[in-house]
Amino acid sequence: MQIITTKQALQQAVENCKKANQTIGLVPTMGALHEGHASLVRRAVEENDVCFVSVFVNPTQFNNKEDLAKYPRNIERDAELLRGIGAQYVFAPTPEEMYSAEEMNTTFSFDFNGLDAVMEGKMRPGHFNGVVQVVSRLFYLVQPDRAYFGEKDYQQLAIIHHMVERSSMAGTFGNLQIIGCPIVREESGLALSSRNERLSAEEKQTALGISKTLFASLEWAKEQGATVAAVQQRVIDAINAINGLEVEYYEIVDQTTLLPTDSFNHAIGCVTVYCGPVRLIDNIKY
């Protein structure tokens, strides 16, 4: 496995793969890798001749400086995990290698068709601009045949689908296929997240209340006369009733448009909860 830190070396590696007619799978990550990431990488290794994994804590998608500073980083451990899975290339650039000073300091503009106006987009202004900025740059540099994203970040996945649909009309990313992968959870139900590393043992126990409530809500939705609005409120109340948890939002929306819906058909519930100072996200499909 080769660790690459410059765009130039990355493009050279990509060129070599293309010359050899190898298919390329890409898994973009911010590192501090866990089994959730590993599931994406395993799939990319299986389905492509060559697998590239990027490990880059993208500063332009953080609207909170403290969150950026505290984001866990451990490239040695990440590299070990990726080597074990069989990834061929890791791209781990510095922010300065990825962006010019101007790019770093101006909001990347993009037409989200409203997908950024709800949930994470509403709470973290500019977050998805940074996501689209970094992902489109990675697509441009790596020219993958397939790129893998987790459903854990459901809104991000929806936005990337939209971005690729729009740009494939213009032919930018060729036949790039976006592959969404299911959420990997601990046996306890807690969705794996790099941010879990910041939870104390006690907070981790408390955080179980999030997935437990989401799973329970699948049953609530089946109760006679259950409405989306009532289930949505019941989830918020149940999580807020747990000492140490505070809901930022819980929205049950259509899986494609991310717009509010009054039917459980094709619906997904997306939640963000503060567990102490740590912001956790999760979701459930109805």
Binding site for ligand AMP (CB under 6 A): 29-30, 36-37, 39-40, 149-150, 152-153, 181, 183-184, 191-194
Give me 4's structure tokens: 């690459």
- With a CB cutoff of 8 Å and minimum separation 6, the contacts of 117 are none
- Of 53 and 231, nearer to ligand AMP (C-beta) is 53
Q: Which is nearer to ligand AMP, 27 or 221 (CB)?
A: 27
CB-wise, 120 or 251, nearer to ligand AMP?
120
Which residue number places its CB atom closest to ligand AMP? 150
Among 210, 177, 178, 180, residue whose Cα is nearest residue 193:
210
Q: Report the alpha-carbon distance of residue 3 to residue 12 in Å, rounded.
A: 13
Smallest distance from ligand AMP to CB 195, Å: 8
Q: How far is the CB of 193 from ligand AMP (least distance, A)?
A: 6
Strands across the sheet containing 278-285 = 245-254, 267-275, 278-285
Decide whether 17 or 30 has the Cβ nearer to ligand AMP: 30
Confirm if 119 and 103 have CB atoms less than 8 A apart. no
* Residues marked as catalytic: 37
**In angstroms, what is the minimal distance from the CB of 229 to ligand AMP?**
28
Rg (CA), the chain: 19
Burial of 189: CB neighbours in 10 Å, binned 0-12, 13-18, 19+: middle
Query: At 250, which helix (H) or strand (E)?
Result: strand 245-254
CB of 58 to ligand AMP, least distance (A): 8
